[in-house]
């Protein structure tokens, strides 16, 4: 096993423990119950787990200590522990305990990537070690998942939450682990998106792709083109009021996600799926028809005029304004289902947009159709339905994100009885969503070609958070594991047990998940 604890942090830890031990004398708990860290209900499954069969007793006196630069993360952990256990733990204070939590910073070149972390749990301490705040954040999620729902009230005079002891060494299988939310077909508020972000972060998802524009609505304020939201923001599927994010709200969302190490990927879908934009500014329209508001769910009837320079000036403004507010490296330019754009016009358009995106210092992501255009190899193709497009992208040296409609689409119904969802790609019960191998899903597309996977949630049939949760949960949890855990560590029978035990968390978060009969859901305290 890799040795990543360097001498300096080790000394820091030792002095901390000696200090606290002096205060309180020996650990006051004599007999810990036997535990097995390797049997815990962790999702995603960590890379390596070594159980030592004892426990760490978290109680009201436990202190949280962090390396310089990690104190915000320490506060975050304290808030989450408070939420889960009602304990008020001090952060970088003077703890009154000989059992403490330490989040330490390593500078270890042997850690394979920036999300890697180690978690060492003993009777005296819980130590999260990482090179980066991002790695430490992922480790904090693992720790959160190990804190039991109920306390032990017999081993000590204080209530104790017993965390199984041992060592976890962990890092992700794929760099990109995404979810997508369509806020264009139906609008979702900042508060809704924040809740989704909280849930995704718990399962180590690190990218949230926002589908911000479509035929039915334009959802992001662009200061240089105000009618996009004044007119384009006022419609949605079914004739509801629509809505949009002001630039301040969008920045707030980006910052909220960044705190949980989630990158926001903004999508402006073009040249098709652009009815709302063309309704606001009819010069953009290239389908030769009069533009009227659209609130249905058909696709493929709209297109920008790809041969007008003014259209590219417009796109330049949009990409610039959004890129300026988006710290992440990607800009998603759509490119799907441009059914009324001539092939050569489509390819010409995508290649010009790729250059605009690059000029604003972003890498372009596009749906798999973009593989046909002449684009830079820094662009990324997002596979959704056409395997040949994905293969073509790889042949051209592009990386791909896998979002197979038949597996990863969260908007597909579970079965014929599902209350919401579509089924053009088939029904996707919870096992079907989990049982596939991204590394071998498309012949000719192997691990090194795959940036990661993403689970899109299109919103034609959902209008509020409860409906969103019905489609996303539990399937998105399985996708989180497919993105993080290695192929050897993924197993449906094992996963379904761990999933069944997510109920305490999901109930506490008030998530209205779909109670699939395939899962033997554990009854949690909070459920009724
Ligand atoms: C296809 S997937 C679309 C979307 C729809 C979705 C519904 C993709 C790139 N385009 O426009 O919302 O199906 O499942």
CATH of the domain at 43: 3.30.379.10
Would you call the peptide bond into 44 cis, given omega within 30 degrees of 0 as the criterion?
yes
Confidence band for 525, pLDDT divided at 50, 70 and 90:
low
Q: Does some domain include residue 125?
A: yes
Mean pLDDT of 79-108: 95
What's the distance, CA 379 to chain centroid? 21
Which phi and psi (to 5°) does residue 243 adopt? 140, 170
151 CB neighbour count, 10 Å cutoff: 19
* Among candidate residues 263, 254, 266, 311, the one with its CA nearest the CA of residue 286: 311
Distance (Å, rounded) from C-alpha 191 to C-alpha 212? 16
pLDDT value of position 22 = 41
How far apart CA 375 and CA 363 sit, in angstroms, is 11
Q: What's the 45 CA to ligand 1 centre distance in angstroms?
A: 30
The verdict on residue 446 lying in a domain is yes
**Quick one: average pLDDT of 177-206?**
98
Ligand 1 atom nearest residue 385's Cα: 2
**Distance in angstroms (rounded) separating the CA atoms of residues 277 and 464:** 24
Count of structural domains within the chain = 2
For 441-448, the CB contacts below 8 A with 24+ separation are 441/402, 441/404, 441/407, 442/383, 442/387, 442/390, 442/391, 442/402, 443/387, 443/391, 444/391, 444/394, 444/395, 445/383, 445/390, 445/391, 445/394, 445/400, 445/402
Ligand 1 atom closest to Cα of 182?
Answer: 12
369 is annotated as an active-site residue: no
Question: Measuring from atom 12 of ligand 1, which residue has the nearest CA?
Answer: 458
Q: Which ligand 1 atom minimizes the distance to the CA of 299?
A: 11
Strand 207-211 to 380-383 pairing: unpaired
Does a structural domain hold residue 218?
yes
297 pocket-lining for ligand 1 (C-beta < 6 Å): no
- What would the DSSP string read from start to end of 53-95? EEEEEE-TT-EEEE-TT-HHHHHHHHHHHHHHH----EESS--
Q: Do 198 and 158 fall into the same domain?
A: no
Helices 190-202 and 465-472 cross at an angle (nearest 10°) of 30
Pocket test for ligand 1, best of 337, 389, 406 (most atoms within 8 A of CB): 337
Same domain, 151 and 266: no
Cα torsion 38, 42, 47, 49 to 10°: value is -20
Q: Which domain holds residue 399?
A: 176-508
Determine which residue's CA is closest to atom 10 belonging to ligand 1.
336
Task: Of 517, 520, 512, 420, give the one whose Cα is nearest residue 199.
Answer: 512
Greatest pairwise CA separation for the chain in angstroms: 82
Residue with tokens 């959902």: 462
Same domain, 59 and 191: no
Ligand 1 pocket check for 367: Cβ under 6 Å: yes
More confident: 87 or 15: 87
Residues 68 and 104 occupy one common structural domain: yes
Q: For residue 381, what are the β-bridge partners? A: 366, 400
Residue of 299, 366, 471 with the most ligand 1 atoms within 8 Å of its CB, for mutation: 299
Please give the structure tokens belonging to residue 255.
């910052």
Residues 440, 315: one domain?
Answer: yes
- State whether 257 and 385 are in the same domain: yes
Burial classification of residue 310, based on how many CB atoms lie within 10 Å of its CB (0-12 exposed, 13-18 middle, 19 or more buried): exposed
Q: For residues 237 and 253, give the distance between their C-alpha atoms in angstroms, rounded to a whole number.
A: 24
Per-residue pLDDT tens over the stretch 300-334: 999 999 999 999 999 999 999 999 999 999 999 99
The response to whether residue 6 sits with its C-beta less than 6 Å from ligand 1 reads: no
> Considering the domain boundaries, does residue 524 fall inside one?
no
Q: Using the atom order of ligand 1, give the atom closest to the CA of residue 424.
A: 14
Bridge partner list, 402: 383, 453
* Of 165, 137, 154, the residue nearest 51 (C-alpha): 165
**Could you tell me if 402 and 475 lie in one domain?**
yes
Please report, for residues 44, 102, 436, 482, 487, the alpha-carbon distance to residue 174 in angstroms, rounded to integers and kept in the order given.
Answer: 12, 27, 15, 9, 11
Both 77 and 192 in one domain: the answer is no
Domain match, 45 and 159 both: yes
pTM: 0.95
**458: CA distance to ligand 1 center in Å?**
7
**229-234 average pLDDT score:** 98
pLDDT digits (tens, 9 = 90+) for 412-463: 999 999 999 999 999 999 999 999 999 999 999 999 999 999 999 999 999 9
**Ligand 1 atom 7 nearest Cα:** 458
Query: Closest ligand 1 atom to the C-alpha of 411?
Result: 14
Active-site position among 267, 337, 460, 481: 337
Q: What's the pLDDT tens digit per position in 136-167? A: 999 999 999 999 999 999 999 999 999 999 99
Whether residue 8 has pLDDT greater than 70:
no
Q: Are residues 104 and 184 in the same domain?
A: no
Q: Is any atom of ligand 1 closer than 6 Å to the C-beta of 236?
A: no
Query: 322 lies in a domain?
Result: yes
Q: Over the stretch 380-410, which tens digit does the pLDDT of each residue have?
A: 999 999 999 999 999 999 999 999 999 999 9
* Mutation to probe ligand 1, out of 381, 382, 458, 472 (largest number of atoms < 8 A from CB): 458
Residue 122: which of 183, 189, 53, 65 has the closest Cα?
A: 53
The Cα 399–Cα 438 span in angstroms is: 13
pLDDT band at 524 (very low <50, low <70, confident <90, very high): confident
Give distance in angstroms: CA of 457 to centre of ligand 1.
Answer: 9
């Amino acid at each position: 096993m890799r040795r990543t604890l360097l001498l300096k942090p080790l000394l820091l830890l030792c002095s901390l423990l000696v200090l606290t031990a002096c205060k309180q004398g020996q650990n006051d708990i004599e007999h810990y119950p036997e535990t097995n860290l390797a049997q815990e209900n962790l999702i995603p499954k960590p890379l390596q787990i070594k159980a030592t069969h004892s426990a760490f007793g978290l109680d009201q006196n436990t202190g949280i200590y962090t390396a310089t630069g990690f104190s915000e993360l320490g506060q975050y952990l304290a808030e989450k522990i408070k939420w889960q256990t009602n304990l008020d733990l001090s952060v970088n204070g003077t703890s009154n305990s000989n059992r403490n939590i330490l989040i330490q910073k390593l500078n270890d070149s042997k850690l394979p990537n920036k999300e890697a972390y180690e978690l060492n749990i003993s009777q005296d301490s819980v130590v999260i070690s990482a090179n980066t705040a991002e790695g430490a954040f992922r480790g904090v999620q693992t720790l959160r998942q190990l804190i039991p729902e109920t306390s032990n009230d017999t081993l000590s005079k204080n209530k104790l939450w017993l965390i199984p002891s041992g060592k976890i060494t962990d890092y992700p299988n794929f760099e990109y682990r995404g979810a997508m939310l369509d806020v264009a077909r139906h609008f979702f508020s900042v508060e809704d998106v924040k809740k989704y972000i909280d849930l995704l972060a718990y399962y180590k998802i690190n990218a949230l792709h926002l589908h911000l524009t479509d035929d039915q609505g334009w959802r992001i304020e662009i200061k240089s083109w105000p009618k996009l939201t004044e007119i384009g923001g006022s419609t949605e599927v079914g004739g509801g009021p629509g809505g949009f994010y002001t630039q301040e709200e969008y920045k707030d969302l980006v910052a909220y996600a960044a705190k949980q190490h989630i990158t926001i990927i903004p999508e402006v879908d073009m040249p098709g799926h652009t009815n709302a934009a063309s309704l606001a500014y009819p010069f953009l329209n290239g389908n030769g028809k009069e533009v009227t508001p659209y609130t249905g769910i058909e696709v493929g009837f709209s297109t920008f005029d790809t041969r007008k320079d003014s259209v590219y000036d417009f796109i330049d403004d949009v990409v610039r304004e959004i890129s300026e507010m988006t710290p992440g490296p990607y800009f998603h330019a759509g490119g799907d289902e441009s059914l009324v754009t001539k092939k050569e016009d489509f390819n010409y358009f995508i290649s010009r947009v790729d250059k605009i995106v690059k000029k604003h210092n972003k890498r372009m992501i596009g749906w798999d159709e973009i593989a046909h255009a002449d684009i830079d190899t820094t662009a990324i193709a997002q596979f959704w339905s056409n395997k040949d497009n994905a293969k073509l992208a790889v042949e051209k040296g592009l990386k791909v994100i896998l979002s197979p409609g038949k597996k990863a689409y969260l908007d597909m119904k579970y079965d014929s009885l599902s209350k919401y969802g579509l089924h053009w790609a088939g029904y996707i019960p919870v096992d079907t969503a989990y049982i596939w191998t991204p590394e071998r899903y498309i012949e000719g597309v192997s691990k090194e070609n795959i940036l990661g996977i993403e689970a899109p949630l299109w919103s034609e049939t959902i209008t509020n958070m409860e409906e969103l949760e019905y489609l996303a949960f539990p399937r998105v949890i399985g996708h989180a594991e497919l993105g993080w855990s290695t192929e050897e560590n993924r197993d449906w029978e094992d996963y379904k047990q761990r999933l069944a035990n997510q109920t305490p968390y999901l109930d506490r978060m008030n998530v209205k998940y779909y109670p699939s009969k395939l899962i033997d859901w554990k009854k949690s305290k909070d459920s009724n």
